Amino acid sequence: MQKPEALLHIDDLMSFMDASPVNFLAVETIRRRLENADFERLDQSEAWHIEPGGKYYVTKNDSAIFAFVAGNGMPYDGFRIISAHSDSPGFRIKPACEIAAAGKVLKLNTEVYGGPILYTWFDRPLSIAGRVIVRSNDPLHPERHLVKFGRPLLTIPHLAIHFNRAVNDGNPLSKQKDMLPVIALINDTAECNDYLLDMVADQLGIDKSDILDFDLSLYDTTPACLVGSNDEFITSGRLDDLSMAYSAMTALLESAECQMTKVMAIFDNEETGSGTKQGAASPELDYLLRRICACLGGNDEDYMRAVSNSFMVSADNAHGIHPNYPEKQDPTNHPRLGGGPVIKINANCKYMTDADSAAVFRVICQQAGVPCQYFVNHSDVAGGSTLGNILTTQIPLRGVDMGAALWAMHSVRETASAIDHEYIIAAFTEFFNC
Ligand code: ZN
């Protein structure tokens, strides 16, 4: 039986999840915690002054965040990096989103982001969060405001079974027809005009005419919680990949000073292939590491030596063996919930892990006193990819792909093991205690 006292971080992890309903808010939650721990914000458009042992962070597009503790060794000593991603699959609200629908109902037009399991979004108490762009005196630099409504505002009502008796035999869904959320009852279609903008302006206390654009998404307002007769499981939206972002941040905050530079890299847009300036396919991390090396007095050769001396843990969650579908997993490598961090390996290099980097991570887990396990795809299943192999097209880093074992990846609510997160934080802290 699991000992609840061993779950030191789990309440904090759940608070973190609840405070982070979308990518922009996740970055803001991390940013605040870094500020509370005396990390200094750096602006990419200005000159940097970095002291050995100093703590710094930088954001990109408000939706990616990179924090580091500068090493107190030589510029070529290299980096210990943990990467994760801030985004999760879901629904983004389209411009001109109001639709007057049958029954004097106002619904909102949305577009699917990434690959959510669509039917898990039905009949939930949903709300809205994200970023709003507001007019300033400088056309190239409008103001950016974060917004989170907090209270339930919308739901996507499912069709009653009486209108589709075959619903439980498989029910194909249209993203455009079946998945639109309702937000209000109206008397007149004129009420639809700027309905959302009025709400946003009200929430932010600004003039509607100053709102230029927005990046707003839906989220489930149901808080994270533990389930299981011994609180074995954590269930929450967005465990993929905010539980790894939380673990990386916690290890960065709790680990000791280091000769090498410790880096936490939280990218956006992993769920759509990482191909944005704030995604892992951009040269953002290369620029950051190169710049840290230069600010610590290194030259080009020092940077290349630093990259060669570095190691990255690419942290993104993995599929735990499912009690109802064990046949979906590889016959000999099927990670289980509660079995510790999962090393992900793929013969076709969808993961950056190789025998050398897996060996490094296994020893780190051993030193931290935590178990670890492997995930390999069932050979007839294509599987997914993640940050690690995309990052190595930009920087030739040694590293490992790993994560926590999870059920229902990309459901609006995913389930993982509580103790696995303690194991992973312990392993990450050991990695950063270099
Ligand atoms: Zn992920």
- Percent of the chain past pLDDT 70, that is, above it, reads 99
Alpha carbon of 238 to ligand 1 centroid (Å): 9
Q: Ligand 1 center to residue 102 CA distance, Å?
A: 38
Q: Reply yes or no on whether the pLDDT at 1 is more than 50.
A: no
Pairing of strands 261-267, 318-319: unpaired
Going from the Cα of 229 to the center of ligand 1, the distance in angstroms, rounded, reads 28
DSSP 147-193: EE--S--BB-PPPPGGG-TTGGG-----TTTT-PPEEEE-SSGGGGT
Instruction: State the average pLDDT over residues 41-53.
Output: 96
Question: Ligand 1 center to residue 132 CA distance, Å?
Answer: 25
* 90-220 is a CATH 1.10.287.3610 domain: no
CB atoms within 10 A of CB 213: 11
Structural contact between residues 256 and 244, judged by C-beta atoms closer than 8 angstroms:
no
- Res 258 pLDDT > 90: no
Confidence (pLDDT) at 411: 98
Helices (H), 259-354: 284-295, 300-308
380-391 pLDDT, tens digit per residue, is 888 777 888 898
For residue 3, the model assigns a pLDDT of 43
Q: Where in the chain is the domain with CATH 2.30.250.10?
A: 90-220
- AA identity, residue 115: G
204: its two tokens? 């932010």
pLDDT band at 4 (very low <50, low <70, confident <90, very high): very low
pLDDT one-digit tens code per residue, 297-342: 999 999 999 999 999 999 999 999 999 999 999 999 999 999 999 9
pLDDT interval class at 44 (50, 70, 90)? very high
C-alpha distance across the termini of the chain, in Å: 33
pLDDT bracket for residue 5 (50, 70, 90): low
Q: Tell how far the Cα of 385 is from the centroid of ligand 1, in angstroms.
A: 9
- How far does residue 244's CA lie from ligand 1's centre (Å)? 9
Length of the chain: 434
Structure-block tokens of residue 9: 């971080």
Task: Specify the 3-state DSSP secondary structure of 68.
Answer: strand
What's the CA-to-centroid distance between 4 and ligand 1, angstroms?
27
Instruction: Please give the distance, rounded to the nearest whole angstrom, from the Cα atom of residue 222 to the centre of ligand 1.
Output: 21
**Range in 9-13, 15-19, 200-204, 328-332 the model is least confident about:** 328-332
pLDDT score of 362 more than 50: yes
Residue limits of CATH 3.40.630.10 in the chain: 10-88+237-433
Alpha-carbon distances, residue 69 vs 6, 27, 47, 190, 404 (angstroms): 28, 18, 18, 54, 25
| Residues lying with their CB under 5 A of ligand 1, a single-atom ion | 240-241, 316
The CATH architecture of the domain made up of 10-88+237-433 is 3-Layer(aba) Sandwich (3.40)
Q: Are 380 and 203 in contact (CB under 8 A)?
A: no
Give the distance (Å) from ligand 1 centre to CA of residue 98.
31
